A and B are shown apart, each in its own frame.
Chain A
C-alpha cells in the first residue's frame, strides 16, 4: 500500500481530534486542550502538505502506477503542465482545497486569538469532511486496484493517459488555484458566522471577518474572470460568458458574498442587518458546496456544454450539501429570535438605503441565476427535465444592471444615516453627461432600450466614482479601493453590453489560398500547419497579418480541439472560430439527399423518382460478396418514363462501396447513401459537379465563424480596475488592523 493512502485517514483523525479539542477548550478553557488542538491541527497540516508533495513528486517523476498520475498526465507534458496536472482531477482539487484551508487556519491562529477555538473547530470540521472524500477517492490508489481487468497486479503502465488538452493552456494553470482559494475561503466566513451564532455575538464578528470577506470577493471574482477569459481565448465559445451551469455555479456564491460585503458595510455604520449578514455568510458557503455538487456530479450532463462523468461521489456530495445546510439552518433558526438588530435608521435617500437596495439587486440576480441553473432539477419534479435558455438570464440581468448602475452612481454622494436628497443635485451634471454619452451610443447604432440604458447608467456611475477618486487623490487620500471597484464594474457592464449585444458574426467557408472579404477584413486561409507536438494549427492571413487558430485531433478527448484566432484592436476584436476543415476532394461535387420508401414517388427538381425495389446480383461474383441494387424509375413532371436506373451497394470481401449512376440526361449522379432495412427506406444522394468557376471548386475549405466583438477592451480594463480596487481595500484593511 502506498504511504499516501495511509496519510489520508491519519489526516482525518488529526482533524477530528483538533475539532474536538478546540471545542473542549472553548467550553472548559483548559490550556492543555488548546495545545492538543493546535498540535493536532499542525499534524494535519503536515500530513496534508506531505500528501500534496507526494502527489506532486509522483506527477513529476511519472509514477503511472498511481491512478491519478496515470489518468491525468503523461511523459510528453512539459514541466509547466505537469504542475497543473495536480489540479486536473477531482482528487487533486480537493487536496488543493485542503492545503488552502490549512493555510487559512494558520492565519486565523496568528490573528484571531480570542475566537480561535470556535472558528477553528468549525473550519476544521469542514476540512475533515473534505478529507473523507479523499479517503473514498484517493489519488494514490494504484491502477490495478481501480481497474484490475486492464492492469495486472504490480504492472506499472509505461505512460499515462495525458492531460486534457483543454487544460493545457497557460490560463488554466492559474485559474483553478485562484478560484479554489475563493471557494475554500468561504469556509472562513462560514466559521465566523457560526461562531457569532454560538457566542451570541452578532455585531462584533463582522469587524474581524471583514478582511477575509474582501479576500473571498477578490478571489472568487478573479477566478470567475480568468475562467471567462479562458473560455473566450481558448475554448472558443465565442464569448466570455455563456450562463453555463458550471459558470453559474461559481457566479452565485460570488454574488451572495458581494451582497454580504455590502450588508457588512451597512452593519458597520449603523448596526442594522445583523440577521441578514449572518444568513448570507452561511448561505454563501452552502452555495459553494452546492456548486461542487452541480459541477462534479452527473446531474446536469444533458444541460451543459461540459461533459461530466457520473461519479460515485454523487451521494456523498449530496449528503455534504444537506448536512451543512442543516447545520447552518438549525444554528440560524435556533438563534435568530435572539438577534436584536437595530432598525436601519434614516430615511429613503440615505447612503445605507441605497447600499441595501444594491445588495438586494445583487441577491435577486443570485437567486434568479440559482433558479435558472437548477431548472433541470426543478422541472424534473413536474415532468420532463428542461433547461432555460440564456435569454432567461439576459432578460433579468439587463434591468438589474440598470438599477445597480444607478445605485453605484448615486450612493457614494449620499450621507450615512441622514436624509440627503439635497446632495443629489451634485450629480445632475454627471447625469447630463451620461445622457450625452447615451446620445452618442444611439447615433452609433445602439437602439435597444435596455442596452442603451445600461450604457448610460454605467457611464453615470463611472463619472461619479471617478470624480470622487480624483478628489481623494488630490487630498493624497488613497482609500478609494471601493470607488475604483465600482468604476471597474461600470466599465465591465458597458463592455459586456456592447461586445455581446452589438457583436455581429458570419459563418463562412474559406477556400484555401483564395482571399475572401469578410466583415471588412481580407481573410485568406493558408492551410493547416502540422506541429511537432501534434497540436496543429490553421493558418489564416488577416489583411497582412498571419494568425493561427488551434485545430487538431486529440486522442485523449477523442475529439477535435478547436480554438479561436483573436485579433485584438483598440476598438474591437476580430474573433475567428474554426468549425471544420472540408477536404478538397469533397468539393468537386455537391449533393442532396432524398429519402424514399418502396413504391413511393418523390419529386426532385424537375423529376419524379420512384423506388420499385431491390435487385440482388451475384453474377460473376465470389461467394459471400454482395451486389445490392435498387431499382429506380425516373419520370418527368408529366409522368413520362425517362429511364430506369440501378444505383447499387457492393460488398466485396470487407470492402463496401457505392456505385453511382447518372440521372438520365443530366450531369447528376445518383448513389445509395444508406438502406434502412427496418423502416424499408433508402437514402439516395444526388450530386452534381460544383461549378468549376466557383471559388470553392476542388479546394480545401475552412468553415469558420467570424465575429466582430466591439469594445471588448473596455470589459478587460474594467475587470482589472475591479481587481485592483479589491486589492487596495484589502491591503488598507490589513494596515489599519496592524496600526
Chain B
C-alpha cells in the first residue's frame, strides 16, 4: 500500500530535479552585445541588422553585423545561407555564443515589421 506512494514520490522528485537542472542549463537569456561578449554560454541577442550580409558559398557561411539598442555592434556568423526574409527584417534575434570576436549564431529569428496576426487562430 505504501510502496506506491513512495514510487510516486520518487518519480515526482526525480523529475523535479531533472527539470530544474535542464531548465537552468537550457535557459538562453536575452542579453546586450556587451554582456554576450563576456560570457561563453548560449545567449540571445536582439538587434538591428546593419547590412544585408555576405554569403560565402564555398564555406557555406553567412556573415552580417548587428547593432543593439546600446549602439554596440558585433559580427555574426551563421552556418548556412542567408535566412529567409532576412532582407525584409529590420530586427533580428540571434541565438548562439560569442567566441573570439565573432558571435556564432545557432539560429537566427527574423522579425518581420509586418502586421502579422498569429497565423494559427488559437484561443
| Chain A contact residues, CB within 8 Å of chain B | 87-90, 92-93, 97, 164, 166-167, 172, 175-176, 179-180, 183-184, 227, 235, 246, 249-250, 288-289, 291-292, 295-296, 302, 305-309, 347-348, 353, 356-357, 360-361, 364, 368, 371-372, 375, 379, 384-392, 395-396, 399-400, 403, 507, 509, 556-560, 562, 578-580, 582, 587, 590-593, 595, 673-674, 678-679, 683, 685, 690, 696, 701, 703, 705
Shortest B71–chain A CB gap in Å is 8
How long is the Cα–Cα vector from A166 to B117 in the complex, in angstroms?
11
For A387, the chain B residues whose CB sits under 8 A away are: 27-28, 44
Rank and list the top 6 A-B pairs by shortest CB-CB distance, nearest first. A703-B81, A292-B123, A386-B29, A392-B26, A395-B22, A166-B119
Interface string of B8-46 (1 = CB under 8 A from A): 100110010011001101111111000000000010101
Known contacts A307-B116, A395-B22, A560-B88; is-contact A357 B8 (Cβ 8 Å): yes
Judge whether B118 and A176 touch: CB under 8 Å.
no
How long is the Cα–Cα vector from A166 to B85 in the complex, in angstroms?
14
The answer to whether B58 has its CB under 8 Å from any CB of chain A is yes
The answer to whether B4 has its CB under 8 Å from any CB of chain A is yes
Docked complex: B94-123 residues within 8 A CB-CB of A: 95, 109, 111-123
How long is the Cα–Cα vector from A387 to B95 in the complex, in angstroms?
11
For B60, the chain A residues whose CB sits under 8 A away are: 507, 509
Known contacts A302-B46, A360-B8, A395-B22; is-contact A703 B82 (Cβ 8 Å): yes
Judge whether A364 and B42 touch: CB under 8 Å.
no
Judge whether A674 and B50 touch: CB under 8 Å.
yes
Judge whether B117 and A559 touch: CB under 8 Å.
no
Closest Cβ neighbor of A291 among chain B residues: B123
Shortest B44–chain A CB gap in Å is 7
How long is the Cα–Cα vector from A703 to B86 in the complex, in angstroms?
14
For B113, the chain A residues whose CB sits under 8 A away are: 558
- Which of B27, B82, B111 lies in contact with A579, CB distance below 8 A? B82
Judge whether A507 and B81 touch: CB under 8 Å.
yes
Docked complex: B70-84 residues within 8 A CB-CB of A: 71, 73, 75, 79-84
How long is the Cα–Cα vector from A306 to B112 in the complex, in angstroms?
10
Judge whether A580 and B27 touch: CB under 8 Å.
no
Judge whether B117 and A164 touch: CB under 8 Å.
yes
Instruction: Known A-B contacts: A295-B122, A356-B4. Give 14 more (CB < 8 A).
Output: A97-B123, A295-B120, A306-B118, A348-B3, A348-B7, A371-B19, A388-B26, A392-B19, A396-B18, A396-B22, A403-B11, A558-B114, A559-B88, A595-B75
For B85, the chain A residues whose CB sits under 8 A away are: 559-560
Judge whether B123 and A295 touch: CB under 8 Å.
yes
Shortest A632–chain B CB gap in Å is 19
Residue tally, chain B, CB below 8 Å to A: 60
For A175, the chain B residues whose CB sits under 8 A away are: 120
- Which of B18, B27, B65, B115 lies in contact with A386, CB distance below 8 A? B27
Judge whether B29 and A361 touch: CB under 8 Å.
no
Judge whether B22 and A391 touch: CB under 8 Å.
yes
For A679, the chain B residues whose CB sits under 8 A away are: 73
Judge whether A388 and B27 touch: CB under 8 Å.
yes
For A400, the chain B residues whose CB sits under 8 A away are: 15
Judge whether B117 and A291 touch: CB under 8 Å.
no
How long is the Cα–Cα vector from A385 to B83 in the complex, in angstroms?
25
For A390, the chain B residues whose CB sits under 8 A away are: 26
For B57, the chain A residues whose CB sits under 8 A away are: 509, 582, 587, 590, 690, 696, 701
How long is the Cα–Cα vector from A403 to B108 in the complex, in angstroms?
35
For B119, the chain A residues whose CB sits under 8 A away are: 164, 166-167, 172, 235, 306
For A90, the chain B residues whose CB sits under 8 A away are: 117, 121
Judge whether B30 and A386 touch: CB under 8 Å.
yes
Judge whether A307 and B56 touch: CB under 8 Å.
no
Closest Cβ neighbor of A556 among chain B residues: B114
For B114, the chain A residues whose CB sits under 8 A away are: 307, 556-559
Judge whether A593 and B84 touch: CB under 8 Å.
no
Judge whether B28 and A246 touch: CB under 8 Å.
no
Judge whether A307 and B111 touch: CB under 8 Å.
yes
12 A/B residue pairs, CB under 8 Å, sorted by A? A164-B117, A246-B120, A291-B123, A295-B123, A307-B111, A309-B117, A387-B28, A388-B22, A558-B113, A560-B84, A580-B83, A683-B65
Closest Cβ neighbor of B30 among chain A residues: A384
Known contacts A371-B19, A395-B22, A558-B112; is-contact A295 B118 (Cβ 8 Å): yes
Shortest B8–chain A CB gap in Å is 6
For B109, the chain A residues whose CB sits under 8 A away are: 305
Judge whether A591 and B112 touch: CB under 8 Å.
no
Closest Cβ neighbor of B122 among chain A residues: A295
Judge whether B118 and A296 touch: CB under 8 Å.
yes
Judge whether A399 and B23 touch: CB under 8 Å.
no
Judge whether A579 and B30 touch: CB under 8 Å.
no
How long is the Cα–Cα vector from A361 to B51 in the complex, in angstroms?
49
Closest Cβ neighbor of A165 among chain B residues: B119
How long is the Cα–Cα vector from A183 to B122 in the complex, in angstroms?
9
Closest Cβ neighbor of B113 among chain A residues: A558
Known contacts A580-B84, A674-B50; is-contact A388 B28 (Cβ 8 Å): yes
Judge whether B30 and A89 touch: CB under 8 Å.
no
- Which of B44, B81, B112 lies in contact with A559, CB distance below 8 A? B112
Judge whether B22 and A392 touch: CB under 8 Å.
yes
Shortest A187–chain B CB gap in Å is 11
For B55, the chain A residues whose CB sits under 8 A away are: 582, 703
Closest Cβ neighbor of A363 among chain B residues: B12
How long is the Cα–Cα vector from A296 to B83 in the complex, in angstroms?
26
How long is the Cα–Cα vector from A356 to B4 in the complex, in angstroms?
10
How long is the Cα–Cα vector from A385 to B44 in the complex, in angstroms?
11
- Which of B80, B88, B121 lies in contact with A558, CB distance below 8 A? B88
How long is the Cα–Cα vector from A247 to B29 in the complex, in angstroms?
21
